[in-house]
Structure 1
Amino acid sequence: MTTDLLIRSAIAGDLPAITALYAAEVDQHVATYEYSAPDEAEMVRRWSGIVAQGYPYIVAELDGRFAGYAYASSYRSRDGYRWTVEDTVYVAPVAQGCGVGRALLQRLIDECAALGYRQMVAVIGDITNVPSIALHERLGFRTVGVFHGLGRKHGRWLDTVQMQLDLGPGRESPPEAEQAS
């Protein structure tokens, strides 16, 4: 059986599927510490804000069907963090184990590096999320810390894993914008 995997920029028409996938994650899992699933209007607002800031927001299609999404966003709002992004990746249950997460994250890494970002941070919602940790490790991320009991959801305390990846030259030289000044 051959599968056709397409990674492309998200469009407004993807938001119903994105909203549904994220709602399931909010309701059933701990990848996000959000308690109430946002409605489609809120997800459109979030998507629009991320895209308006120039960050990549992408989707995967597997055999022509929505299979997941990923985006980069600001790691922190202070100016000194402007060269660092945080990644977010969600894969539909039917597409897990098919290489969708890897393809989404690799594309996100490539796009962020091309945009001049120097670091990517993954904030993984629980230390038991072995598939997400393994995915990030396969693409070169290293664990830089674990916050024990940082969040609480579904009646239990959650340990948050932080992972980091150098993009482009990483911290070996200043960003081009600073070199020019």
Structure 2
Amino acid sequence: MLEEEYETRRQLPLHLRPQPEPETPFEWVIRPATEADLPDIREIYNHYVRNSTVTFDEKAIGLSELKRKFAHIQRLGMPYLVAVNPRGQILGYAYVYPWKEKAAYRYTVENSIYLGPASTGKGLGKALMEEMLVASKAAGIKEIIAVIADKGAEASIQMHKNFGFKEIGHMGKVGYKFDRWLGTVLMQKSLK
């Protein structure tokens, strides 16, 4: 008797074989960020600093710098959201920040959304964008600008288009990272 035939006949019937654990659904809750979330937010962001061109930052952000930025956003009453799984782990975050510091720009912001590497491609970016737009409108924001890398961020550009952002410009070769020149795509959405 061949070894393969013996192995085939020795197997238990399907209903008696151990079944793999069912895959855990990818679940999250979106809530306002707190200062306690900042170490996890920093880790997500610094992953992109080290490994991608979606941010033009080249040095990892420190916790004290992130705390200052977070406090500024809080003082302005602008949204800063996190998505957490049922165990409380931060999966991603979204916030808006003043487009420019001059007073005339006070109703215009730039948005940012970052997901943990294991959280991409599962609808979380879309959910954070939705919540961020609602919270931004509630905060009195009228215009949102997205500044997106022109290489390596095609999914972000498409998501912004899906939410009604219009391309308003392109700046070529304004950033230099990983030994190459990069540009940005500018997109805008009105919340009126």
Q: Runs ≥4 in structure 1, deviation > 6 angstroms?
A: none
Work out which of the residue numbers 21, 29, 34 in structure 2 matches 1:6. 29
Match of 1:38 in 2: 61
Work out which of the residue numbers 136, 144, 149 in structure 2 matches 1:120. 144
Matched, 1:70 2:65: no
Alpha-carbon displacement from aligned partner over 1:106-125 (angstroms, at most 9, x marks no partner):
11111111122111110112
SS at match of 1:38: coil
TM-score norm. by structure 1 comes to 0.88
Match of 2:179 in 1: 155
Uncovered stretches (5+) of structure 1, i.e. residues with no partner: 170-181
Q: CA deviation at 1:52?
A: 1.6
Match of 1:20 in 2: 43
Q: CA deviation at 1:103?
A: 0.9
Inter-partner Cα distance in structure 2 for 1:21 and 1:29: 12
Q: Give the AA of the match of 1:11.
A: T
Inter-partner Cα distance in structure 1 for 2:170 and 2:158: 15
Instruction: State the superposition RMSD in angstroms.
Output: 1.3
SS at match of 1:98: coil
Inter-partner Cα distance in structure 2 for 1:62 and 1:32: 25
Work out which of the residue numbers 117, 121, 132 in structure 1 matches 2:156. 132
Uncovered stretches (5+) of structure 2, i.e. residues with no partner: 1-23
Match of 1:174 in 2: none
Contact 2:52–2:152 (Cα < 8 Å) also in 1 = no
Contact 2:53–2:152 (Cα < 8 Å) also in 1 = no
Inter-partner Cα distance in structure 2 for 1:148 and 1:119: 23
Match of 1:177 in 2: none
